[in-house]
Amino acid sequence: MDNRQAIGSWISGPRAAAEDMGVEFGYRGQRLGLPEEGPGSLARPGRRFAALFIDWALCMLIAYGLLSGGKAQQSASNWALVVFAVLSVLTVGTVGFTPGKRLLGLRVVAEGGGRISLPRVVLRTLLLVVVIPAVVWDRDGRGLHDRLARAVQVRI
């Protein structure tokens, strides 16, 4: 190995270094038994962030227009968090997706397939509202909130 390559290897991260040594990780979602592409495959982070943005914008609109009385921005933000939690529990718990996820062709399912149970939806939502578990990802790109709730976001 060239010294320049060894010095710069930290930029690529441990996964790239392991792959350079011949370790085969497979595609994202392979360990979960999901297809690599198409319907049922693991949702990509960009699409998940876009769906979250759409849901948050919708919740901010509802909170600002209906619940905070059009007054303080801080009050609207607090109400938006409550609206987001209620929206997430009700929609993911019943149909498997929020409005933003539906617009972008995503669905939340249990790891083995099928619907996610209501207690797991509540756990997932509480962890998502806390934010920190949502930014800690595993090698499949699932957030800690999905991992602890044994859920997967897949493409429809």
Q: Would you state the pLDDT for residue 24? A: 79
Q: Would you state the pLDDT for residue 11? A: 65
- Measure the CA–CA gap between 124 and 139, rounded to whole angstroms: 19
Whose CA is closest to 150, among 95, 110, 114?
110
Instruction: Kindly give the parts of the chain with pLDDT less than 50.
Output: none
CA dihedral 99, 140, 93, 38 (to 10 degrees): 60
Q: Would you state the pLDDT for residue 59? A: 94
Q: Would you state the pLDDT for residue 122? A: 96
Q: Would you state the pLDDT for residue 21? A: 77
Q: Would you state the pLDDT for residue 124? A: 95
- Residue 57, token pair as written in the block: 């914008």
